[in-house]
Each structure stands twice: as C-alpha cells, then as structure tokens.
Structure 1
C-alpha cells in the first residue's frame, strides 16, 4: 500500500502547487486583437470579453500518472486558446452539419427512406423532399445531393470561399450526432477556415498576439507538418495544452523529481537514469511514464516497425527479449501456428497458437492476432502487430515458479491508435511496484499476481472438477480443448477455470431478449449445461421471430411430467426475471437432480447437485460471491 499512498499524497501536493502557481494573464484587449486578426467575429469578441470580465474562462491540466484532470478559472493565454478551440469546433458544426440532412437520407438504389408516423414534421418534410428530387433526377442520387447542398443557406458555403493555404486531410463520418444542439450563433470570422485550410496562419497569428510563445509555436507547426494537427481547433487546443504546461513547469518539475526518486528506490531506475531524466526540459512537455520506461533496467522498448510482421518470426524475437527481464526464463522449442477462420463474407480472423518449453513443461496459449480482408486489399501495416495475450503463457510460467514478478505490456498512443502501433514495452513488475506507474489503463496491461493458480494447482482443480461430475456432459475432445485453454495462462480464478469448458458456467446477458425466440434458445442452453438435470420439452416461446408488439408474451415448457407457464413482460431487449423464476420453480419440484445457482454477483448461472453445491461452497466460496474477471468472450455461450 505504501507506493499507492505515496502516489495519492504526491498527487494532492502537485495539485495544490498548481493551484498556487501564478499563471500569466492574456493581454487585456486580447478579444479585440483576435477580431482584428480575423480569427474571431464580433459575436466571438463579445463572448470572450464577457467571459474575461466574469472570470468564466477555464484551463485544465491532466496528471499523466493518475489520469486525473483538474480545472480552474483564469484569464491566461492557455484559457484564451481553449476558448478559441471551442469557438472553432462550434463553427465547424455551424458550417458543415445542416439539420435534417445527411447521406443516410438517400439510398444508392435511388429510393428515399420510407416515411414513418414516428418522424418529426421537419424530418417528414425532408424525406418527402428527397423523394421529390429523386423523381426529378430519375434516381441520380449524386445529383440529388448536389441540388440539396446548393439550396442550403449561405453559412454552409463559407468554406468554399476560403482559399486553401494548407492541405486539408479528408476526415471520416461519425455515426453519432452532436451531443449538444446545433449552435444558433458562431464566433469565428467568415474568412477563417474550420476545416484546416488556414492552420499555419492561425498558429502564426496566435504567436504574434502573444498567446503562443516561440517554443510552443515550433511544436504546433511541427504538428501541422506531421499531420497530427488537422484543423484550426486542433491548433488552438494543442497550443492551450503547451502554454498550460509552460505555466506549471516549476511545480511539475519538483513532483517529477520525487517520482523518479521513488522509482529508483524501488529498483526500477538507476541513479544514472534519474540524473538523465531530471535534465529533460519539461517546459512544454510531460514526462510520460512510457518514456521513463526506456531508462528502466526492468523494461525493454520494442520498435514494432523494425520487427518481422509474420507471427512465425515475430514471437520468437519477442520471447528472446525476456530472459534479460525474467531471471531463469529460458524458453526452448518455440512453436507458432497461425489459424484462419471466416468472420463474415468479407473478413478473415487470424489467431495464433504460441507454445514453448520451460523447466520441463510446455506452455501453450491461443489468442487473437488480426483481421484480414478476403479480397486482399488490406492496407500494409506500419509494423508488426502483436496479440497482447501472448504474455499469458509467460505469466503462467512465473506463477509456476512462485515468482512475485509478472510480465506487463506497455503501450503509448500514436497517430494510428490510442494504444499505439509503433512501439511496445515489455516490463517486469511486482505487485508493489505496479502502482508506481499510475492508473492509466491504456498504458499498462492488468495482471494477477496470485500464484495460487500454478499449473500443478490447476491440474488438480481440473481433476477434482471431473471427479465431482462437473465435466460429465462433455466429449473427450471438449475436455481436452478446455484443459489446453486452462493451461494457456488464462486462469486466475475458479470461475475462469470453469469458463474454459463449454456449457458449464453460463454468463447471462440481461439485454439479450432479441429475436428469434430468445427464451426458447436460452432454455435449451440451460438444459445442455445441466448435464441432464433439466430436461424441458414442448418449449413454447411467444416472443417469436421479431420483436413483439404486445406487452407480454407466453412462455411454457414441460419438465418432470408437468407443464410450466408464465406471461413474460416485454421490456425492450431486457430478459424478464420471471423466466428464471419459472425455471427455478420447475427444478424445486420433488425428485429434481439439482438446480441453477447464481454466481459472479448474479451475472452467471451454474447447475449443481446438492452434493456439488455443498462441496463448492466449502472449497470455492468466491465462486458464489464475487464478480471474477472472465476469460474469453463473456457471451460466447449465448448465440442470440
């Protein structure tokens, strides 16, 4: 707990220092200057002046370790730049997102979407207009869209009149509308682009007004050249972040020095590494944990762009890095098998089976690798793609050695992904060392340090489950596949062990009342998982093949010579609990072999005889208590 306590205390101290730091104020006439430079219009000037007078401008800084963001009000250059970023984003919506218009309103087949009584009056009028235009242009949807665009109000043509001073990156569509209503006013001058045409001029104008210092301008211009800053809003937002970092450099430097010393005391940095990192200029940058890892003797940073992309060559290269991090780990006879299956009409799913021998045992792990297009039109990857689950076999070996260490993977965002596709970190940490690296879930993987599920212990638990009769419904092949999956390093709880065997512990998705006939399907799944203890026949599911319009649907089955019936309430796609009550009622009748018991905090069901239930309550009480993490797809047993 000491590392975590240290982290919390130093975070609180840092936030206190940041609040006490005096940040420079923007020029008093900054709103007027932004108007004269052609960035804000008159309404934008008025709004900025109002916020300046009322102290309503805000700045924000995020702690890279805790991922906690803190806001406060000030009139600093960073706050003014944050306002400009907001204004550009609002203007983009104002200029480019006309209400009741979008590509979804026109089918490529030349037919308008059908009118519906549930549509609003404007939406119905728009759909009717599309239908009229389709008739006029004889189904030419491109002509329809051009005509609709031509008739839009002047605000939607502003961008056409602005000369492209910078190249504009083509953006993608979003399936979600703006969370807020469309703006009725806008604060950006008509001659300034919101699509990225005037990014460089905008950055230089902000520098000329004193809102960006020289170093911040250089970084912003570099971001424009690299394509990371695509719009004027991006320029202002990044400028705000850089100026906020500059204003808080002093207290951040003191906090980072304490953090580096703590890493050194834990053996995660050398004295030389601390000295080198302490000399880093952080005025316009954060000292991110991933960059610190590069100086740790307990980590290796892989450049994925330089690794072989083929899994057969990739994983042996990665495993060869680990003996330097994990004492005693000497993998031999490394084997890599790539398996491909069809996902749908257009995509393949590639998985990898990685195995190696260490200390007389073979460790085998199967995991997802990548998707591939069946037509062969995949974009060439920037570098090797790593299936992160490859580490499970390595961590299973560590558990077998009763080691306090676990192999963690570290990622850092890049232009391709929030996880990053260009670099990957391999890190060996103990449970006490892990909190020193913060709480960012995108940075480090989550690992269990419980050595209670070593390979000998898992094998004993499988044998015990078999003797208890929990696997009696499975074929020899299903048992073998489940055993291989369990021993692949996926298990850190008894629930995960059971989940590796099909139709044993069912995880029930409460939002699975979807056609066709969901209650009949679930009844059959429960019957299969009961190992013959629940034998329903004559199943009737009034839900049918489509969503019912009635408030209730009939459901019935026969079991043990009796017919059980209930009217189940239709609650969108939520299952009615009365379904489970009816199953429970049937299994409580005299002569029943057992019943279903809730586990995983009510999210799972497992069928047990009284003897099995008593045994597991005594030996595995956590099964009926806590929501253990589950291996694999939680809905794999639910095909609807």
Structure 2
C-alpha cells in the first residue's frame, strides 16, 4: 500500500509541475485558453510520463494551431475559389473554418467541386467488396465516370517474381459509356492465401478513369491528393478532378493540398490504340509472333497506361529493345547490343562471329562481326561509360 500511495503522490507532484508550466506558458502568451484546457485534461488523465513527452506534445500542437489558424485557412480557401476548385461551396467552407470543422488539410476536399475522400475503414476489408466500393466512390466525382460490370482478378506479378511470391497485381475491368476499360495496379496482401487484408496501389488504381476521360476528350483528369496530418496513418484516399491549369495553380502553392501530376498530353485513345494494333498487324510487325503472344499483348495494352505509340509496341515481345546508354551495366556491351538487335529483327539482321572485348579504362573499343559473308570492324570512343552515338548510326548504314 505504501508503494502505491507513494507512486500516486509522486505522480501528483509531477502533474502539478506540468500544470505550473502550463500557467507560465499562458502567461507568456504562448498558448491560449483552449489549449490550456486541452493540456490540463491530458495532465489529469496522466497522459504524460515525463517532461520531454509533455513539451513535445505542446510544441506539436502549438505549431499545428498556427498552421491551421483560421486566417490562413481562409486565405487558402480564397485561392481555391479563384481557381474555381471551390465555387458553389465557398460560403459553406468559410463557415466551416469559423466553426473549426477544418481539422485536417484533407477536410478541404469536402468543399471542393469535384472531389471525394475515401476512408478504407468505412468499407469491408474483403477484396471483392472493397475494390468495387472505392472505384464507385472515385467515379462519383463525375457523372461521365459512372460504370457497370465491375470485375477484378488478383494475379502474381511475373516481373517481381524473382524477389519473392508476395508481389501481386490487381487487374480491374469495368464498363463505361458502352466500352470496357481495364487497369493493372500493384496489390499487396498480407499473405498469398488471404486477399482480404490487401491494399491496392493508390497512385495507380484511378488511372482507369483517366482512360475514360481521354476517350471523352475531357479537359480534366482524376488526381490523387496525398493525405497529411494527424490522420494520415488511416490511409485515407483523397481524389480530385482538375483541369491542367487548376493542377498547375494548386501545386504552385503547396500549403494544405497538393495533387498528383497527371499527363494532359494527347495520349492515344482506346480506339486509336486498337486501330494502331490493326495497322501494325497489316504491315507485318506481328508476323513473327504467335496468336497467344498477340492476344496477350493486346490484353496488356488494355491494362497499362499508354503514353504514346511506342508504348504499344513495347508491350509485344521482341519488337522493341530498350537499353541503358551507360555501357558499364553490360559485360561486353557492343557485342551484347548487336545480339539483341538481331533478336528483335527476328534474324533478318543475323551477324556472326561477334567480338567486342570491352575494357572500361581504355579510351577506345573495337566491335567486329560478320554479316552475309562480309567482315565488319568499327572502333568506338569511350566517353566514361556512355555509348558512342556512332554505334547506332552504323546499323542504319548496313
């Protein structure tokens, strides 16, 4: 009993020190009456075990109070109105600031014209429920994004298989405006046998809606709004629709909200992608591919974000070879590149006796090979480990 009573007395003395310190801070004008009431309540609840913890909490909340000061929030609200991100709800936003309803930066989205907040805790943790729910919530920001026929599948990520079996992709399919759209996103379940606790890749899942907007020639895009503040650990998802100019203006003044950078360039529409694939087939670019490879390529094209026509070709096997212009990443770089060029030409360019002994310390290296019974030899400069541009020109001259 003496030990318990002694601990209570010590805690009471410690709490009194915290209370005295509060009084001094208020006297100096460093905290206001409302903050004093909050911290005194925490002291009475024995929330602080030591002085440093107490001081850290005061510092954090004092900084936040300054950051979320009403005059600063209203200044930002005026900017949102100027950009027409907030329009009809402007007066409601100002009232919310006066009533201290804007507790976190993401709360601004409640008053923006085309935006929403998705809190995963409000939905079932079952993938079959959660995935469709967050897509419906995202689509609710614009009438033209409405969809039906939602489907999904979760498959292992083949490209990441070398790093283990915990990498997956979620491939979503839905129908909007009479057309089927697909999108592949990373998916990270807690285990390969339990998809219920999985999380979809936030920075990618909503791109399916930007595909719809591209097809509609819309002047705006769907953006992810990163969540900051006390509730950022809740993994809320902020979604906002912006024009190119609105995106630019909002990100010029990153105070409370910022939006993901989305591409407003004239990307190929889904119809243009389909026509391009048809034309590539007509001119024989797919003549060395199997029916299965062509079908798989078309499927992958529908799932990915296609930036330009080269992206379409890169999806099909052995049509495009991408390489790093830093030669140090390869053992005998010019020889290896020649072999890869031969592969994507499907042996129409079929050199033999390829030789290139590469030593990075030397200033020159020689590539040799035979083509159609003719020997070729060319010496290239070595500028650190960067490729000599003459190498690429050489093959256009053969």
CA distance in 1, matches of 2:314, 2:383: 30
Q: Is the 8 A contact 1:349 1:370 kept in 2?
A: yes
TM-aligned CA deviation for residue 582 of structure 1 = 3.2
Please provide the CA RMSD for this pair. 4.5
Equivalent runs, 1:210-221 vs 2, <5 Å: 210=28, 212-214=30-32
Are the aligned partners of 2:380 and 2:390 in contact in 1 as well (CA < 8 Å)?
A: no
- Provide closer, same or farther for how the CA distance between residues 304 and 404 of structure 1 changes in structure 2, counting only shifts above 3 A: same
Matched, 1:275 2:94: yes
Q: Sort the Cα spacing of 1:586 and 1:205 in 2 relative to 1 into closer, same or farther, 3 A.
A: farther
What are the equivalent positions in structure 2 for 1:621-640 lying under 5 Å apart?
A: none
Classify 1:306/1:274 alpha carbon distance in 2 versus 1 (closer, same or farther; 3 Å): closer
Q: Secondary structure at the match of 1:321?
A: helix
**1:354 counterpart residue number:** 172
Aligned to 1:343, the other structure's residue is in SS state helix
Compared CA separation, residues 457 and 548, structure 1 to 2 (3 A): closer
Contact 2:89 2:112 in 1 (8 A): yes
Deviations 1:451-483 (A, max 9, x none): 662222222222233334444444333332332
How do 1:153-302 and structure 2 match up within 5 A?
207=25, 210=28, 212-214=30-32, 238=60, 241-242=63-64, 245=67, 252=72, 255-262=75-82, 265=84, 268-279=87-98, 288=105, 290-302=106-118
Structure 1 position 257, deviation (Å)? 4.5
Deviations along 1:127-179, whole A, 9 cap, x unmatched? xxxxxxxxxxxxxxxxxxxxxxxxxxxxxxxxxxxxxx9xxxxxxxxxxxxxx
8 Å CA contact retained: 1:270, 1:296:
yes
Asked if the contact 1:369–1:387 (Cα under 8 Å) also holds between the matched residues in 2, the reply is: no
Task: Map 1:470-549 onto structure 2 (within 5 A).
Answer: 470-488=285-303, 490-511=305-326, 513-532=328-347, 534-543=349-358
From 134, 141, 157, the equivalent of 1:318 is 134
Cα distance change, pair 429–568 in 1 and its aligned pair in 2 (3 A): same
Q: Distance in 2 between matches of 1:480 and 1:519?
A: 33
The one of 379, 393, 396 equivalent to 1:584 is 393
Relative to structure 1, the CA distance from residue 311 to residue 487 in structure 2 (aligned partners, 3 Å threshold; closer, same or farther) is: same
Q: For the structure 1 residues 431 and 515, does the alpha-carbon distance in structure 2 shift closer, same or farther, using more than 3 Å as the test?
A: closer
2:376 alignment partner, one of 563, 572, 591: 563
Contact 1:350–1:369, Cα closer than 8 Å, also in 2? yes
2:386 aligned residue (546, 555, 575): 575
What is the total number of aligned residue pairs between the two structures? 367
Structure 2 unaligned regions, length at least 5: 1-9, 11-17
Q: TM-score, with normalisation over the residues of structure 1?
A: 0.48
1:39-438 map, 5 Å: 207=25, 210=28, 212-214=30-32, 238=60, 241-242=63-64, 245=67, 252=72, 255-262=75-82, 265=84, 268-279=87-98, 288=105, 290-341=106-157, 343-344=161-162, 346-370=164-188, 384-413=199-228, 422-438=235-251
Q: Which has the higher helix share?
A: 2
Cα distance in 1, alignment partners of residues 163 and 77 from structure 2: 55
Deviation per CA, 1:219-255, whole angstroms, max 9, x where unpaired? Answer: 8x98xx79xxx98997697478458648xx5863562
Query: Is the contact made by 2:330 and 2:336 (CA closer than 8 Å) also made in structure 1?
Result: no
Cα offset, 1:298, TM superposition = 1.9
8 Å CA contact 2:149, 2:175 repeated in 1 = yes
**Relative to structure 1, is the Cα distance of residues 210 and 407 closer, same or farther in structure 2, using a 3 angstrom cutoff?**
same
Q: So what's the TM-score if we normalise by structure 2? A: 0.72
Give how far 1:302 is off. 0.9
* Deviation for aligned residue 1:386: 4.2
Contact 2:364 2:379 in 1 (8 A): no
Question: Relative to structure 1, is the Cα distance of residues 357 and 328 closer, same or farther in structure 2, using a 3 angstrom cutoff?
Answer: same
Deviation by residue 1:315-335 (Cα, 9 ceiling, x = unmatched) = 211222245322244422211
Q: 1:366 to 1:206 in 2, by over 3 A?
A: farther
Evaluate the alpha carbon distance shift between residue 434 and residue 524 of structure 1 in structure 2; reply closer, same or farther with a 3 A threshold.
Answer: same
- Deviation track 1:180-223 (CA, whole Å, cap 9, x = no partner) reads xxxxxxxxxxxxxxxxxxxx99x97994894842467868x98x
Aligned equivalents of 1:472, 1:364: Cα separation in 2: 26
Give yes or no for contact 1:346–1:373 (8 Å, CA) kept in 2. no
